[in-house]
């Protein structure tokens, strides 16, 4: 490393990394600190029991080669098909960016809100203006608590005038929605429904979907919906995804009954397009600047902190949960004050290629490699950019592009054991998306109020 270490800084930081909770990253603004205990890989065998749900596609994912999983929304979630000795996640990445892939994302539980007051209720629990979403269309939305913290960042599908589906990220939203309505007493029903999605992602996704449902797929806009049949079963198709590549999601109705029919129909049609079943592509979503709840944000994160300021509309007149707090924070930002402690940024960093999930929140120091002042949330290697990239949190005053940092990678990825690698804050997304997200479009138009 080019920058000399301050006396004892490397030893102190690495002691924290190896031996336990890091006491040097100020988290006084949080009630529950981010877990910075740097334990590294901890090989264990996952217990499969009845306490955690198996999705309707679980057996099909196992048949397709799934060899590891995590738990997401209290469901087992496939996170690897190609084994490390065969190239691992980067082989899956190649299939995604060059061909077409299918992902088992049934863990995106579907919470239905239906009834005469559905629009008014949903408009109160999300920050965006739901009245502008037409039937058979969707949007990426956030739901906040009264302190402005993000409880969930789902895709919201409007199936009909009086029916919405929340396609959840990794937090239990049904109980929150039911609790809110105990106070509101609006005329809606709120329940999880037997709908399970898969994602079809990659440059050949439209060609595959056309083989499955016909030319009508060409007319589905970004975040548009289409009712169709796949494998003879009823589905809703959205042009959405978690990759930054072109892609769709297939929401299968009565999924516990018909999972095999839909899945096998996709496999059969996919043969002509070099389809591969893979895990959700966190390596690609990081490059696209797409956030992962529980990793890059949680219920103690404000939208402005994680580049979701565009989700806090200035023109929505209707009240919503968290509105007063979010408007207060925005006023501090616009007055030139410091509205909160930590800001999510993008970084390009040195080191050996990071080609798998990080087991810890690796620590960030300033350029002088002194005591850690932040932490990495989502790192990976970008083949297109030829460097490691990452999202992470740094103090608000250090958020500006071009700021130089030092990142404490584990020895497996470090250039020199026991020393941090150089890093620099760079714009996000790290590379352009086939389907730019609303955040990406907002930033390109100068509307991302996080900066």
Q: For residue 329, is it within any domain? A: no
Q: For residue 119, is it within any domain? A: no
Q: For residue 104, is it within any domain? A: no
Question: What does the block give as tokens for 304?
Answer: 């402005």
405: domain CATH number is 2.40.30.110
Q: For residue 54, is it within any domain? A: no
**419 is annotated as contributing to ligand binding:** no
Please list the ranges in the chain whose pLDDT falls under 50: 1-8, 11, 448-451
Which one, of 168, 170, 210, 217, lies nearest residue 193 by Cα? 168
State CA 84 to chain mean position distance.
Answer: 23
* Helix (H) or strand (E) segment spanning residue 60: helix 58-63
pLDDT value for 70: 95
Give residue-wise pLDDT tens across range 123-172. 999 999 999 999 999 999 999 999 999 999 999 999 999 999 999 999 99
Give residue-wise pLDDT tens across range 406-449. 999 999 999 998 899 999 999 999 987 666 655 556 555 555 43
* Helix (H) or strand (E) segment spanning residue 266: helix 255-270
Strand partners of residue 394: 343
Residue 67: count other Cβ atoms within 10 Å of its Cβ. Answer: 13
User: How far apart are the C-alpha atoms of 116 and 129, rounded to whole Å?
Assistant: 18
Question: Is the Cβ–Cβ distance between 377 and 392 less than 8 Å?
Answer: yes
Query: How many separate domains does the chain show?
Result: 1
Domain of residue 409 covers 9-39+291-301+341-444
Question: Is the Cβ–Cβ distance between 131 and 139 less than 8 Å?
Answer: no
Question: What is the reported pTM?
Answer: 0.92
Give me the DSSP letters along 399-432. Answer: -STT-EEEEE--TTT-SSTT--EEEEEE-SSSS-
pLDDT value for 15: 54
Which one, of 326, 443, 331, 346, lies nearest residue 399 by Cα? 346
User: How far apart are the C-alpha atoms of 430 and 288, rounded to whole Å?
Assistant: 6
Place of tokens 């590379």: 431
Q: For residue 421, is it within any domain? A: yes
Question: What does the block give as tokens for 329?
Answer: 């924070």
pLDDT value for 444: 58
Which one, of 237, 188, 193, lies nearest residue 212 by Cα? 237
User: How far apart are the C-alpha atoms of 245 and 168, rounded to whole Å?
Assistant: 20
Residue 27: count other Cβ atoms within 10 Å of its Cβ. Answer: 17
pLDDT value for 272: 97
Question: Is the Cβ–Cβ distance between 262 and 249 less than 8 Å?
Answer: no
Q: For residue 163, is it within any domain? A: no
pLDDT value for 433: 67
pLDDT value for 3: 44
């Amino acid at each position: 490393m080019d920058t000399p270490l301050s006396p004892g800084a490397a030893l102190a930081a690495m002691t924290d990394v190896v031996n336990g909770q890091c006491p040097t990253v100020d988290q006084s603004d949080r009630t529950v600190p981010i877990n910075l205990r740097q334990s590294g890989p901890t090989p264990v065998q996952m217990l499969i029991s009845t306490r955690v749900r198996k999705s309707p596609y679980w057996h099909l994912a196992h048949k397709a080669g799934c060899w590891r999983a995590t738990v997401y929304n209290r469901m087992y979630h496939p996170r690897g098909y190609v084994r490390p000795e065969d190239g691992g996640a980067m082989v899956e990445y190649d299939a995604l960016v060059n061909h077409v892939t299918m992902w088992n994302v049934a863990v995106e539980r579907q919470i239905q809100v239906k009834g005469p007051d559905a629009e008014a209720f949903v408009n109160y629990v999300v920050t965006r203006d739901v009245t502008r979403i037409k039937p058979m269309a969707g949007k990426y939305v956030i739901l906040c608590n009264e302190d402005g913290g993000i409880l969930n960042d789902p895709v919201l599908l409007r199936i009909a005038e009086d029916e919405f589906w929340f396609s959840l990220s990794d937090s239990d939203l049904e109980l929150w929605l039911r609790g809110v309505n105990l106070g509101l007493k609006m005329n809606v029903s709120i329940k999880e429904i037997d709908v399970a999605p898969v994602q079809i992602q990659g440059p050949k996704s439209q060609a595959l979907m056309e083989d499955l449902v016909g030319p009508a797929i060409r007319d589905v806009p970004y975040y548009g919906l289409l009712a169709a049949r796949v494998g003879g079963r009823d589905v809703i198709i959205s042009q959405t995804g978690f990759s930054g590549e072109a892609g769709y999601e297939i929401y299968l109705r009565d999924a516990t009954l018909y999972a095999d029919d839909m899945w096998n129909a996709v496999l059969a049609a996919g043969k002509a397009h070099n389809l591969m079943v893979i895990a959700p592509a966190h390596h690609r979503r990081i490059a696209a600047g797409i956030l992962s709840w529980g990793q890059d944000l949680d219920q103690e994160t404000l939208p402005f902190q994680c580049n979701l300021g565009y989700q806090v509309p200035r023109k929505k007149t209707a009240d919503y949960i968290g509105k007063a707090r979010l408007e207060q924070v925005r006023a501090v930002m616009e007055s030139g004050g410091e509205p909160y402690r930590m800001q999510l940024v993008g970084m390009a960093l040195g080191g050996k290629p990071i080609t798998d999930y990080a087991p810890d929140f690796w620590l960030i120091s300033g350029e002088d490699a002194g005591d850690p002042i932040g932490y990495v949330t989502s790192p990976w290697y970008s083949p297109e950019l030829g460097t490691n990239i990452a999202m992470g949190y740094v103090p608000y005053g250090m958020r500006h592009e071009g700021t130089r940092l030092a990142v404490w990678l584990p020895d497996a990825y470090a250039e020199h054991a026991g020393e941090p690698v150089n890093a620099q804050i760079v714009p996000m997304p790290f590379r352009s998306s086939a389907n730019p997200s609303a955040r990406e479009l907002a930033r390109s138009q100068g509307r991302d109020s996080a900066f």
